[in-house]
Structure 1
């Protein structure tokens, strides 16, 4: 069962991810889930986010019922002609996806940053925690040129 997608910050557009894959990793029922979502402000870009989904058995065994690891991986690709909408163009970018990884304190987020000089969209998946930050991250880039001029 896919976890409900929630807004990570006020700037995020309401977004639902579609579960496209689930791989069992152990006998307790822990899974790696792969969700897909289209960038809400960039037509022609789809991202896939993989994350760990803890089973009921593992939650009971570990004792921390309400928390999942915030590790995640991301890959974003052009899936059609790219049309930039009204996106944030500053170095902090903007949140495009957020999914809770604990009851209150932790979420897995995807932030989009536009590198105007390189004409590339950067998608960063990272943990956001209320109490302390995390170095867990993954990055994917989508060039906005079509590559036909590459020699």
Structure 2
């Protein structure tokens, strides 16, 4: 996978909230759970996990919407309500799951893993290298991130 040079910027549908990333993703994925299907109004949601210290909101103030739980929170534009990113509280400083189609250029994005195959719509087929019935176990992530990083190239 070849991604554009960094930093990359992105925004919500109405452009009132803008973001900037300054590091490549740690992992990319497609999530087939029914919660993500409902949030995205699609068969799955897409996500790119970026290091938390390399992600910033540069314009606007996102609000929590969708999932308001103790474990994870979804952030949206307060005006157009676009789902922009997710923070998992237990690792909130470690990474941010950005919806990659919020970036100015998402043509490079390919899901590396797919999860919640147990809830996948039967007609969906994507090119993910790894598939999981639910989420991968926490101890699987270091190897997944290492494997993902081997195939990631940046345009200089």
TM-score, length-scaled by structure 2: 0.27
Higher RCO (CA-CA < 8 Å; seq separation 6+): 2
TM-score by length of 1: 0.28
Q: Which has the larger radius of gyration?
A: 1
Write 1 or 2 for the structure with the bigger share of helix.
2
